[in-house]
Structure 1
Amino acid sequence: MKRSLETDGKTQNARTSNNSWGHRYTSRAILFPFTAIALTGLISPLSYNLLPADILFEAVFLIATISLLSPPKKSQIKYALAASLYITISFGLMEIFRPANILDFAQAYKAFFYIVPLSFYVGRSKFNKREIIYLLRILLTIFLVKYGYSRILNLTPRMGERPGIFVENNFELIFIIILFYISEENLKNLERALSTAAVIAIVFLSGSRSALAALIVTFLFIHVRSTNAKTVIAITVTLALTIGAAFIFINRMDGSIETIDRVYFLQIFLDETKDWDALKYTLGSMPLTPLSDHSCTALSAYSALYSYSGDDSCYSVILHSFILRVIFDHGALGLVFILHFVLQALKRSNYSPKKRLCISLTILISAFSVSAFNSVFTSLALAIAFSYPQTPNES
């Protein structure tokens, strides 16, 4: 009996050791690169980063996924298989009916590509509170310093107006906001106050309207729980943030609402889809359907987003907004599939309905402006969220 207990104890210790090793490897595969690449951005006053951060983070995401050393849980296999099947069928249809550059295809289907590795993270315990708080501290410090000196020194027009650490700040700020949201309840009162002030300052310094709107929603979800003194303070701060958002919005209008680029992209989208029926809006266009020559010419100011083929054609990516892109390429059904995956993955990771809604809305708000689910920064934020253990009764 004693020998049996000793054997069971050794087996349990071995399992704990293996799980601990797997946990450390995965978390550090994300934490260390984030720290290192953020530091190279901090010392890059004339550009976002000394390194190609977006490409490096794609590699980080891949390596971290491999380090999980286990297949997706049964509940997630159907999503990974559905996404893989959709990508495969779409690629086949593209090759048969409208051959295009494979890089254009990959860009249009990125969100579905990301679902496959993300399914591996769901319900795993790979990050602990200490690691999440460490990452938040280091990134808030670096972002605040870089955004601050970029604004003050105004060394280049781009960095002086829209500073960034990794890439354009619309993308990286959604990562920061989600990281702040999932970690703030574990901060002590003083650090929570300082972190909140830092996030607000960073978002205001960024000049990003979508990030400011996402922050307002997140702030409401964090603080508005009941009607008391804290609620009054929370609503007051939210109103201040809303006024700030309106100021940035109006300040960047440059005359009229038509001058806002996202409004112009919407006009192009509506012109491209004016003859669509309900079925087309549900399923989207044929795989990799280019925009009309007229629309591509009208968007020539964004020629950097033209097709990789170099023939001056363009695809939905030039519309920037993920909402417009996903409906054009994949239809409303594609958007519903992606949202359903995220919501159920957060549920499987024991996030409360309130938290699931907040995280999803934060990403959706960014989706009206930029690539959202198509961004590696959103995918990394979700990977951390999915594998950060929650207790079922957390509000």
Structure 2
Amino acid sequence: MSSIGRQTSPARNKELPAVLENSLYALLLVSGASSLPLLGRFSPLPVTVLLDVWLVFFLTWMLLAGRTRSIGLIAALSLYLLSRVIPAILFNAPVDDFLQAYRWLLYLIIFATAMGRTWGSTRTLWRVTLSLLIMAIVKSAATLILLGRGQRPGLLLENNFELALFAGLIIVCYPHLGRARWLSVVALGALTVMDESRSGSVAFVIVAVYAVGQAKAANLFLRYLLALALPAFAFVAILIFEARARSSSGIDRLNFLRVFLENTSDWSVIQWLFGTTPITPLDPASCLQLSYYESLFSSRGDGTCYSVILHAFNLRVVYDAGLVGLALAVIVTWIAMRKSGTATSTALALSAIALTNGLSVSGLNSPYVALPIILAITLSRREGREGETPDQIGLPHSIRGRDGSIR
């Protein structure tokens, strides 16, 4: 790894090894590049599995490196995890389904363990983010021209997931981009329009609101343009919602909500607070209603289905772990970011992406949402110790001002 961003420090042993960072960059770039020729399809690589494997290695290194500054929080999360694992074992819950339902707890432990660790320079991170955006835009444009609308191609995975990743990466890199920041916002907006994703539109609006909040008073024109973009993209999101609703037999997320309400109609206060016994199947009638999503049924293949069939993380976590589980996910994520020094605006934006994505798909149960949060936690310590210049980000001198800022 370059010496940039790896300067000698009393906390050097808390800096993440270059091999971890570079392996993540390689994973993302290779996955994206291999996907480019496959119009109408996602990456041929199992990107989600590979990201989870990387996160496990990330956690393993942090635990082996020792000197964790959040032992209390990690211990509390571990005890909570045991409170879910033990009943699952006692009631012979299928392992695959349990792991699918409770990945979010692993991510929370990683958030807590990452506190006090330091990522490298943002230079390479921004270059990787920009490369992914360019590849995604090229593939979406080619798909739109050659195959027409409605294909929703995706570079790494379905755009409901990857747009949350791109939005999170832009927010994490944003404080380091100077006057080139608007380029990232425009690129994400163009990609969102081509992909026709409702949840992606919401993620873009969050990025745009964040960008408006970050614009300095001296740049009132940029603030004005970004403010105008918000209602425009909200309108686009509504059009996408209506068009996709007309093209199907109904709005699938409303169907999931109806099934959730049917399965919780007789719940007690205790059940609403703590959820079901891990893992409790939905009733057979509900599974029959959602037979279109049979690929998400139990790994046992016996027609049983679990909360994962509901798609939306916010519904799934309430069914499995109650309102306490949902609150735990939100609060621990917030604490990990703020205690590590992440700016309030950044923490709010990433939390908003996680919550709104959880209304549609996997939210905090997805590595595409978890990864930017981990980067925010680990980059905040470097940001607090040293301001990064455009040279460190690797942008050309032609767009730098006399004061070193980016034009």
The interval holding the TM-score normalised by the smaller chain is 0.7 to 0.9
CA contact 1:127–1:388 (8 Å) conserved in 2: yes
Of 55-64 and 234-243, more deviation after overlay is shown by 55-64
1: distance between equivalents of 2:80 and 2:206?
A: 33
Q: Is the 8 A contact 1:293 1:313 kept in 2?
A: yes
Is the aligned partner of 1:376 residue 2:367? yes
* Kept in 2: contact 1:25–1:67 (CA 8 A): no
Q: Is the 8 A contact 2:185 2:208 kept in 1?
A: no
> 1:249, 1:46 → 2: CA distance?
21
**Cα deviation 1:82-138 (Å, max 9, x = unaligned):** 232222232221232x32211111111110122223322223211322122112211
Amino acid at match of 1:54: T
| Cα distance in 2 between the residues matched to 1:319 and 1:353 | 31
Residue 133 (structure 2) pairs with residue 140 (structure 1): yes
Q: Which residue of 2 aligns with 1:70?
A: 65
Structure 1 residues 297 and 19: CA distance shift in structure 2, 3 A: closer
Aligned length: 375
- Return the alpha-carbon distance in structure 2 between the equivalents of residues 371 and 243 of structure 1: 24
Amino acid at match of 2:264: T
- The 5 A counterparts of 1:47-86 are 47-68=41-62, 69-71=64-66, 73-74=68-69, 76-86=70-80
Identity over the aligned pairs, expressed in percent?
A: 28
Q: Report the equivalent of 1:194.
A: 183
Report the Cα distance in structure 1 between the residues aligned to 2:83 and 2:377, rounded to whole angstroms. Answer: 28
Task: Measure the CA separation in 1 of the matches of 2:97 and 2:302.
Answer: 12
- 1:288 and 2:282 are equivalent in the alignment: no
Q: State how 1:1-395 maps to structure 2 within 5 Å.
A: 22-68=16-62, 69-71=64-66, 73-74=68-69, 76-96=70-90, 98-154=91-147, 161-189=151-179, 191-224=180-213, 228-254=220-246, 259-389=250-380, 390-391=383-384
Report the CA distance between 1:13 and its aligned residue: 5.8
Please tell me the residue identity of whatever aligns with 1:242. Answer: A
For residue 19 of structure 1, report the CA deviation from its aligned partner. 6.4
- Distance (whole Å) between structure 1 residues aligned to residue 59 and residue 21 of structure 2: 10
Encode CA deviations 1:151-174: one digit per residue, 9 max, x unaligned: 22228x9xx521111221111111
Q: Structure 1 residues 153 and 222, CA, compared in 2 at 3 Å: closer, same or farther?
A: same
Contact 2:163/2:200 (<8 A) preserved: yes
Does 180-189 or 102-111 show the bigger shift?
Answer: 180-189
* Residue identity in the other structure for 2:177: L
* SS across alignment from 1:369: coil
Task: State the alpha-carbon separation in 1 of the partners of residues 122 and 86 from structure 2.
Answer: 44
How far is the alpha carbon of 1:248 from its aligned partner?
0.8
- CA distance 1:14–1:220, change in 2 (3 Å): closer
- Residue of structure 1 equivalent to 2:395: none
Q: Give 1:304's aligned amino acid.
A: S
CA separation of 1:204/1:123 partners in 2, compared to 1, >3 Å: closer, same or farther?
farther
Deviation, 1:177, is 0.2
Q: CA deviation at 1:45?
A: 2.6
Per the TM alignment, residue 197 of structure 1 is displaced from its structure 2 partner at its CA by 1.4
Residue range with higher mean Cα deviation, 348-357 or 315-324: 348-357
Quickly say closer, same or farther: Cα 1:45–1:328, change in 2 above 3 A: same
SS at match of 2:246: coil
Give TM-score, length-normalised by structure 2.
Answer: 0.85
> Retained in 1: the 8 A contact 2:59–2:113?
yes
Distance in 2, Cα, partners of 1:83 & 1:300: 35
Tell me, which stretches of 5 or more residues in structure 2 are unaligned?
Answer: 1-6, 388-407
Q: Unpaired segments of 5 or more residues in structure 1?
A: 1-11
Aligned partner letter, 1:146:
K
